[in-house]
Chain A
Amino acid sequence: MPGTVSNDRKNLGIVDFIGVFWRSLLLQGSWSFDRMQTLGFAFAIEPVLRKLYGERAEYQERLHGHLEYFNTQPYFAAFILGAVMRQEEDRATGKDLGGDVTGLKTALMAPLGALGDSFFWGALKPFAAIIAVAASMMGLWWAPILYLVLFNIWHVSLRIGFLIWGYRSGGDAVSFLAIYNFTKMARLFKIISLTVLGGILGMMPLWRPEFRLEYPVSGVFIVVSCMALTFGLVGMLRRGGSPIKLMFGLAIICLALAYAGVTR
């Protein structure tokens, strides 16, 4: 019977956390336009529900409850999974029979989704990628490893931390965000990304040979010209245009320059 407590119910342990973490890595495996990560969330939480409720009607009812719409930033989903684990545990062990799990998920997924998108996709990824691209441009073979290390040190540790924090706080995102100021960190990463990108452009004559422009003019002239060209392209992009169109546009310009005798 839903809501009743029986003695054979267990608390969650480290193995359950490892299981949920592992399954959370597959959160977007069945991503769809209408339900987005719903199946992935149910897939991740299912072993926990089975352990807490056993193979009885309440387990099926709880599992069915997790088939409601769910979508957030995939890394931040670990926080919500942790919070839901806590609520389900409290419910199953009789500590809190009235917890609104659906309400909790609904309340957290949109703000954490927006925050996660701007932090992970809009700041951390460019930060790691631009530093690695800088290393690659200078001919360093280990640039891809640098990319993976710079990104995943943050990504994996935060993802594990989100799961634990979500469980411990029971979904208290406010206290969590008071400790980790993601907006401030995102700004820091973006600014560093831009200075390193400027650095890449400033060292153009030192780029790996495949990208080096070799003309009988000074290196400073080349970098200033290329910086001016970059600003010109930024100006064009502000008026619209997709990367595909711009790539083909650039190819046509290169063709014109080649026929004008500019290439060597």
Chain B
Amino acid sequence: MPVFDLHMIAIIVGISLVGGFLGLDRTAVGQFMVSQPLVAGPCTGWVLGDVATGLVIGTVLELIWLLDMPIGNFVPADATIVTVSGCAIAILGKPGGTTLAVIGFSLLLTTAMVPLTMWADTFIRHRNSKLMENVFSSNAENMAQAIRRAHLSGIFAFFLKSFVLCLFIIPAGMAAVQLVEHLPGTVQRALSLFVKLLPLLGAALIVRKLSIRLFDLFLIIGFVIAAIFGLLLQVPVLIVLLFTVIAGWLGARYSEQRS
């Protein structure tokens, strides 16, 4: 059981700050993709001294939430908070070294928090509507300053949202994750299998959004190339990946010529 002493509280606040800054990249600042799970996970893991766990959680969540797109009024799931919290819970909750079962439990726990993150995001965006009223109520001479102040306060609100949610979810998750070692071995094995199968669910979610067909031809071509060259002929994985990229490029050109 991790002890919530001053040192641990400082670490949790620090990681929540990391979550707050990374969360800015989702909507408010830049959108350079540092907020995406595959980057945010290893970043959090690196800060906490366990990059591998960050990479595992980040990879899985990247696949799951990749095509949850911020289009129009739609507020997508906040995969950054889920990733940062999930990594922190898995790493800090098990100081002696995390296990796949703990990672699986953390993923379920933080995924259950997704509706809360969406609610908080929606709340901030409603609150931002009032910023415009402040600008319009300012006199003409001070309008530029009012715009600057209102806009920067919006950025701060987005930061605060991610920071506060991480600050709430991480300690609660760290306490909850202690349950894992008391679970029967069968349940722990189920949680490990869950982590191993999650990439397949992520792949299915992507195929669903990227292709209109159930059996997408290009997916199958990539699969066959990888199975033949990677598994049967034992060609190095990077070369196999390159083959799949080239096959996709040739396939795109072929389908373009046909149409």
Give the B-binding residues of A (Cβ under 8 A): 25-26, 28-35, 38-40, 42-43, 46, 50, 57, 60, 63-64, 67, 74-75, 117, 121-122, 125-126, 128-138, 140-141, 143-144, 147-148, 151-152, 155-156, 184, 187-188, 190-203, 205-208, 210-213, 219-220, 223, 226-227, 229-231, 233-238, 243-244, 246-248, 250-251, 254-255, 257-259, 262-264
Contacts and interface: CB of A to CB of B under 8 A. Distances in A.
Among all A-B residue pairs, the 10 with the closest Cβ atoms: A198-B222, A30-B154, A202-B226, A233-B204, A192-B248, A195-B248, A195-B222, A199-B244, A258-B190, A32-B128
A63 B27 contact: no
Contacts of B200: 201, 226, 229-230, 233
A24 to B, nearest CB: 10
B164 interface: no
A31 B38 contact: no
B223 A60 contact: no
Given A28-B28, A30-B150, A257-B190, A197 B219 contact: yes
Contacts of A141: 42, 51, 55
B5 interface: no
Contact of B132 (A38, A195, A219, A250): A38
A76 to B, nearest CB: 12
A40 B215 CA distance: 43
A37 to B, nearest CB: 10
Interface string B175-216: 000000000001101111111111111011111101100111
A135 to B, nearest CB: 7
B249 A188 contact: yes
Q: Which of A75, A126, A156 has the most CB of B within 10 A?
A: A126
B231 A39 contact: no
Given A46-B144, A126-B210, A200 B198 contact: no
Given A29-B154, A67-B136, A152-B32, A201 B195 contact: no
B120 interface: no
Nearest to A227: B223
Contact of B190 (A220, A246, A248, A263): A263
Nearest to A60: B140
Contacts of B132: 32, 34-35, 38-39, 67
Contacts of B201: 233, 243, 246-247, 250
Contact of A199 (B73, B104, B131, B241): B241
Contacts, number: 345
B30 A25 contact: yes
Contacts of A220: 227, 231-232
B126 A194 contact: no
Contacts of A126: 66-67, 206, 210
Contacts of B62: 129, 132-133
Q: Is the interface of B mostly helix, strand, loop or mixed?
A: helix
A192 B144 contact: no
B226 A200 contact: yes
Nearest to A235: B214
B9 interface: no
Given A33-B73, A60-B141, A196 B248 contact: yes
Contact of B126 (A25, A32, A128, A197): A32
B106 interface: no
Interface in B94-149: 100, 103-104, 107-108, 111-112, 114-115, 125-129, 131-132, 135-136, 140-141, 143-144, 147-148
B172 interface: no
Contacts of A43: 147-148, 151
A238 B208 CA distance: 7
B12 interface: no
Contact of A63 (B143, B198, B252): B143
A242 to B, nearest CB: 9
Interface string B216-236: 101111111111001110000
A192 B143 contact: no
Contacts of B71: 117, 121
B252 A192 contact: yes
B192 A121 contact: no
B245 interface: yes
7 contacts: A30-B150, A32-B127, A136-B55, A148-B33, A148-B34, A197-B219, A212-B196
B231 A206 contact: yes
A61 B105 CA distance: 57
Contacts of B56: 208, 210-211
Given A35-B129, A194-B248, A198-B244, A144 B58 contact: yes
